[in-house]
Amino acid sequence: MISDMLKEAFSSIVGQENVIDSQAGRLVYSYDATPNYQSMPDIVLAPRSTQEVVEIVNVCRENKIPIVPRGSGSNLCAGTVPVQGGIVLLFKHMNEILEVDEENLTVTVQPGLITQDLIQAVEKQGLFYPPDPSSMKISTIGGNISENSGGLRGLKYGVTADYVMGLEAVLANGEVIRTGGKLAKDVAGYNLTQLLVGSEGTLAIVTEATLKLIPMPETKKTMLALYQNIDAAARSVSKIIANKIIPATLEFLDQPTLKAVEDFSQIGLPTDVEAVLLIEQDGPAEVVVRDIEKMATICKEEGAVSVQIAASQQEAEALTTARRAALSALARLKPTTILEDATVPRSEIANMVKAINEIAERHQVDICTFGHAGDGNLHPTCPTDVRDADEMERVEAAFADIFDKAIELGGTITGEHGIGMVKAPYLEWKIGAQGMAVMKGIKHAFDPDSILNPGKVFTENVRKRLVVAK
């Protein structure tokens, strides 16, 4: 509990209008996009500057109050659930583009900026910020950095980490550090920028970021390859890459996902096939035409029953928008939707998809699978109902088997959604006891009193999707 005196102190830092203290107001910030994790914060604060963040941290440090930084709460690992109470820190006022530097090809932003707003703003200047999580309409740059989010363009352009050049961050002791900068080359000491990327708000609070931009690709083409056999789709993925083509997008949807997406988006997607690949290439026109033609040939050779190239930019947009809506579409099927992101080397995609289907059958649960095939990053998604305790047991057991299988195939428990509370019980499976010890040492060095997003990443007692009410 936070005393009235401390609440007064917080209010004098951010202004009463930027404090949420009511039961109903705090309830909104007791959960995020992750199903069935909930815990009430004691207070919610929306600072307007780095200086205000520093002052808040200083009060929290002295009084050992947990701080949970929060962008839009769209994470899927219960990363912003304030499991030990304390403060939820909102960045809604710190959402400016501070500078677009066309000479150095960088953009400097505040953490609360919405991802899509950044992408659209730099596109107007002929520049390209590639990381495009499907949630980009709502997610913030601070959240993207802290989860190291990926997206549909990850295969060719990489993930958020590949675009973070410098950070300003407030440490748990209230000090402000600046890491990296606009430099294309910088090897001065440990790479603290990249250490903070993906650290899920557990090491520092990001208050500013300098991001890399690249020139906007000249053109883009989109195609859809339809399959009656998942193996054929997986073979096409491997053969495209083996032919030294790196498409901008190479996405996989299985039949149940396809059906849900078509029901949701109504754009005339075929629903009578086993799988589809959504493929995009961008770049100079002649390269795009050549690559699309070659990929169409490969898909047909590997058994695609049909290959359709989008006739117009609007048709292409409709296809990618429909793919981005996959989670929302599947969420309409049952009261609860659990989406995971087990990732394998792309050569193991077919084995992983088959294993997911076998595991679903063994545990008698429904699992639909879609994802970034080019990255080996799959999203097995289970439409379920948390009120059915028996089914939830089986769902949890099925996902544990899926993570186990991913690791057996040389993969990982999360490709882009992070650990948070959801994957904490499985982290050691991936990185081993020594890896855990090193990570705990880093956490202790940054945050000895564990006030920054406590209960995340290292929590070992949250095996089940528990509601943690306070």
Ligand X SMILES: Cc1cc2nc3c(=O)[nH]c(=O)nc-3n(C[C@H](O)[C@H](O)[C@H](O)COP(=O)(O)OP(=O)(O)OC[C@H]3O[C@@H](n4cnc5c(N)ncnc54)[C@H](O)[C@@H]3O)c2cc1C
Q: How far is the CB of 210 from ligand X (least distance, A)?
A: 14
> Which residue type does 447 have?
D
Q: For residues 231 and 262, which CB has a smaller minimum distance to ligand X in the complex? A: 262
**375 close to 352: Cβ distance less than 8 angstroms:** no
Per CB under 6 A, residues contacting ligand X are 32-33, 68-76, 79-80, 91, 111, 133-135, 139-140, 142-144, 146-147, 149-151, 200-201, 205-206, 327-328, 416-417, 453
Q: How far is the CB of 76 from ligand X (least distance, A)?
A: 5
Those residues whose C-beta lies under 8 Å from the C-beta of residue 435, and which sit 6 or more positions away, are 428
Residue 418 three-state SS: coil
Q: For residues 409 and 421, which CB has a smaller minimum distance to ligand X in the complex? A: 421
Dihedral sign for Cα atoms in the order 113, 116, 117, 119: positive
Residue 75 three-state SS: coil
Helices marked H in 308-388: 313-324, 326-330, 349-362
Q: For residues 363 and 380, which CB has a smaller minimum distance to ligand X in the complex? A: 380
Q: How far is the CB of 281 from ligand X (least distance, A)?
A: 19
- Burial (0-12, 13-18, 19+ Cβ within 10 Å), 184: exposed
Rounded Cα distance, 169 and 54, in Å: 10
> Which residue type does 1 have?
M
DSSP H or E run through 273: none
**274 close to 227: Cβ distance less than 8 angstroms:** yes
Q: How far is the CB of 242 from ligand X (least distance, A)?
A: 26
Q: How far is the CB of 159 from ligand X (least distance, A)?
A: 7
Residue 218 has a CB neighbour count (10 Å cut-off) of 12
Rounded Cα distance, 333 and 240, in Å: 33
Q: For residues 41 and 150, which CB has a smaller minimum distance to ligand X in the complex? A: 150
Rounded Cα distance, 211 and 389, in Å: 45
Q: For residues 138 and 309, which CB has a smaller minimum distance to ligand X in the complex? A: 138
Q: Could you give phi then psi for residue 371, rounded to 5 degrees?
A: 155, -170
Q: For residues 166 and 235, which CB has a smaller minimum distance to ligand X in the complex? A: 166
Q: How far is the CB of 325 from ligand X (least distance, A)?
A: 8
Q: For residues 116 and 229, which CB has a smaller minimum distance to ligand X in the complex? A: 116
Give the relative orientation of helices 255-265 and 313-324 as an angle to the nearest 10 degrees. 120
Q: For residues 239 and 430, which CB has a smaller minimum distance to ligand X in the complex? A: 430
Q: How far is the CB of 416 from ligand X (least distance, A)?
A: 3
Per-residue DSSP letter, 217: P
Q: For residues 57 and 298, which CB has a smaller minimum distance to ligand X in the complex? A: 57
Helices marked H in 15-164: 23-28, 50-63, 115-123, 141-147, 154-157
Those residues whose C-beta lies under 8 Å from the C-beta of residue 5, and which sit 6 or more positions away, are none
Q: How far is the CB of 323 from ligand X (least distance, A)?
A: 10
Q: How far is the CB of 419 from ligand X (least distance, A)?
A: 9
CB-nearest residue to ligand X: 143
**324 close to 152: Cβ distance less than 8 angstroms:** yes
Q: How far is the CB of 389 from ligand X (least distance, A)?
A: 25
Rounded Cα distance, 50 and 14, in Å: 11
Q: Closest by alpha carbon to 445, among 53, 172, 54? A: 172
Q: How far is the CB of 139 from ligand X (least distance, A)?
A: 4
Q: For residues 236 and 381, which CB has a smaller minimum distance to ligand X in the complex? A: 381
Residue 295 three-state SS: helix
Q: For residues 141 and 355, which CB has a smaller minimum distance to ligand X in the complex? A: 141
Q: How far is the CB of 296 from ligand X (least distance, A)?
A: 26
Rounded Cα distance, 76 and 73, in Å: 9
Tell me which residue has tokens 């913030």. Answer: 140
Dihedral sign for Cα atoms in the order 21, 23, 27, 28: negative
Q: For residues 92 and 470, which CB has a smaller minimum distance to ligand X in the complex? A: 92
